[in-house]
Amino acid sequence: MENTVAVLMRKAPYGSVYTAEGLRSILGIGVFEIDVRVLFVDDGVYALVKNQDPSVLDMKSLGDAFPSLPEFGVSSFTVHAPSLAERGLSVEDLVIDAELVDDAGAAALLASAGTVLPF
Amino acid sequence: MLYTINKSPLMFGNLKSALRIAPEGEPVLLYEDGVYAAAHGAATEALVADALAKHPIFALKADLEARGITRLIDGIRVVDYDGFVALVEEHPVVPWL
Amino acid sequence: MKIGVLVLEGPYQHQAADSAYHFVKAALARGHEIVGIFLYTDGVNNANGYIKPPGERNIAERYSELASQGIDVIACTACARFRGFRRDMVVENVRLGGLGALADQLKAADRFVTFGD
C-alpha cells in the first residue's frame, strides 16, 4: 500500500508535454520499487489509440511506448470506460489490453493507491 | 480522497469530470481559477449546488480574495492555506489538473 | 506528517509555483515535515538563480529560502537539460536530481500534493 502510486492520465498527447512526461515518470519511478498503476480518464484515453504517427511532428509515438511498459515492470493499465465511450472509442481501438472501470472503479483505484500523480 | 480543482468551470470540464468520479461524501477543494465555481450567479451554479448535496466543497480564501469573488454559493466553506493543509492531513489528494 | 510536493509549472506563467510555496509554508507552520519539493518539467525554471523580477516576488528566491531551511528542493536533471538550464544556473540551496529522487520522496511521504496546470 505504501509504495503504490496511481498515475492519473487525463490530458491528450502531443498538444502538451504532460502525457510524454507522465510516461517518463512511470518508467522513472517504476524502477525504484514503486508499484505503479496507470489510470486513463478523459482525454488521457487518446494516448492509447492505435495509428498514432507523430513522426510527422518529429515527436516520439506514445502509442508505441505504452505497450512496452510491461518490460519495465509496469503492467497495471486501467481505462475509465465512460471516457472511452464518449469519445466514440472501444477497447478494440486501443494499443494495450486495459482493464475497464466505471466511475466507482476509477475512484476505488485512486483511493487504494493513496498517492496520485496527475499528468 | 480530497479532489482538488484549479480550473474555471466555465472554461474547462475539470470540475464536472471530478464530480462524476468522486464518490459521495468525498471533499472537493477549489483553488486557483477553480474558485470561480464558488461564485454565486455563474452559469455553473446549479452544477455546484447539486454537488453540495453530495460533497463538502471548500474554496481557498486567498484565491477568492485575489479574484474579487465575494458572493459565494450557499454551503461553500472557505478555508485559508492552514485549512488546506488540515484537509490534506485528513485525506490523500487527487489533483484533478 | 510527512508531505511531498511536486511542481509541474514554471514561474510567473501559471500560479502553480506560488500555490505550492504557500502550501508548503502553511504545512511547516502546522508542524509538518516536507520530505521534498520536486520541480518537474517547466517547474525546473523556478530554480533559476538568475531570476530578477523588477518589483515583484522572486519565486526562485522563495524556493531557495525553503531549501535553506533544510527542505530537499530538487530540480529534475533531464528537464533542465531539455530547457538549456545549466547546473551553474541553479539557485542557491536547490540541487538537480533524477526521478529516483522523486521516487524517494513518494516513498517517504504520508501525503503527496501536486501543483500544475
What pLDDT sits at residue C23? 99
CA distance C73 to C78: 16
Strand order in the sheet with A116-118: A99-101, A76-80, A35-40, A4-9, A116-118
Beta bridge partners of C5: C37, C113
| Residue A106 forms contact with B (CB below 8 Å) | yes
| Residue A115 forms contact with C (CB below 8 Å) | yes
| Residue A15 forms contact with C (CB below 8 Å) | no
Chain B residue with minimum CA distance to A115: B92
pLDDT tier for residue A30 given thresholds of 50, 70 and 90: confident
Are residues A36 and A69 in contact, defined by beta-carbon separation less than 8 angstroms?
no
Chain A residue with minimum CA distance to C111: A115
Q: Of B79, B48, B49, B45, which is closest to residue B61 (Cα–Cα)?
A: B79
State mean pLDDT over A65-86: 96
Concerning whether C79 is annotated as a catalytic residue, the answer is no
Residue C98 Ramachandran class (φ > 0 left, ψ -120 to 50 alpha, else beta): beta
Kindly list the structural domains of chain B, giving each domain's residue range(s) and its CATH number in brackets, ordered by start.
Answer: 2-95 (3.40.1260.10)
Q: Strand A99-101 vs strand A116-118: parallel, antiparallel, or unpaired?
A: unpaired
- A20 CA to chain C: closest CA distance, Å? 10
Q: Whole-model pTM? A: 0.97
C-alpha cell read off for A106 = 476509477
- Chain A positions touching B22 (Cβ under 8 A) are 107
Q: Of C72, C75, C80, C78, which is closest to residue C108 (Cα–Cα)?
A: C72
Residues 55-94 of C with CB under 8 A from A: 78
| Residue A43 forms contact with B (CB below 8 Å) | no
Strand order in the sheet with B57-60: B77-79, B57-60, B28-30, B2-5, B93-95
Cα torsion for C11, C15, C19, C21, to the nearest 10°? 10
Answer whether A107 sits within 8 Å of B97, measured CB to CB.
no
- A34 CA to chain B: closest CA distance, Å? 17
- B23 CA to chain A: closest CA distance, Å? 7
What pLDDT sits at residue B96? 98
Query: Of all residues in chain B, what percent carry a pLDDT higher than 90?
Result: 100
CB atoms within 10 A of CB B66: 12
pLDDT at A109 over 70: yes
What pLDDT sits at residue A1? 40
State mean pLDDT over B24-47: 98
Q: C54-113 pLDDT, tens per residue?
A: 999 999 999 999 999 999 999 999 999 999 999 999 999 999 999 999 999 999 999 999
CATH number for the domain harbouring residue A39: 3.40.1260.10
Which one is catalytic: C76, C90, C101, C102?
C76
Amino acid at B72: L
Q: C36-70 pLDDT, tens per residue?
A: 999 999 999 999 999 999 999 999 999 999 999 99
Chain B residue with minimum CA distance to A6: B94
What pLDDT sits at residue A2? 54
The answer to whether ipTM exceeds 0.85 is: yes
- Chain C positions touching A24 (Cβ under 8 A) are 78, 99
Q: Which CATH number fits domain C2-115: 3.40.50.11690, 3.40.1260.10, 3.30.1280.10, 3.40.50.2300?
A: 3.40.1260.10
Give me the domain span that covers residue A12.
4-118
| Residue C33 forms contact with B (CB below 8 Å) | no
pLDDT tier for residue B1 given thresholds of 50, 70 and 90: very high
Residue appearing with cell numbers 489538473: B97
Cα torsion for A83, A85, A87, A88, to the nearest 10°? 170
Our count of domains for chain A comes to: 1
Q: Of A54, A48, A52, A5, which is closest to residue A27 (Cα–Cα)?
A: A5
CA distance B23 to A6: 17
Answer whether B20 sits within 8 Å of A107, measured CB to CB.
no
State mean pLDDT over A60-68: 95
The size of chain A, in residues, is: 119
Q: A38-54 pLDDT, tens per residue?
A: 999 999 999 999 999 99
What pLDDT sits at residue C29? 98
Strand order in the sheet with C111-115: C95-97, C73-76, C33-39, C2-7, C111-115
Mean pLDDT of chain A: 95
pLDDT at A69 over 50: yes
Q: Strand B2-5 vs strand B93-95: parallel, antiparallel, or unpaired?
A: parallel
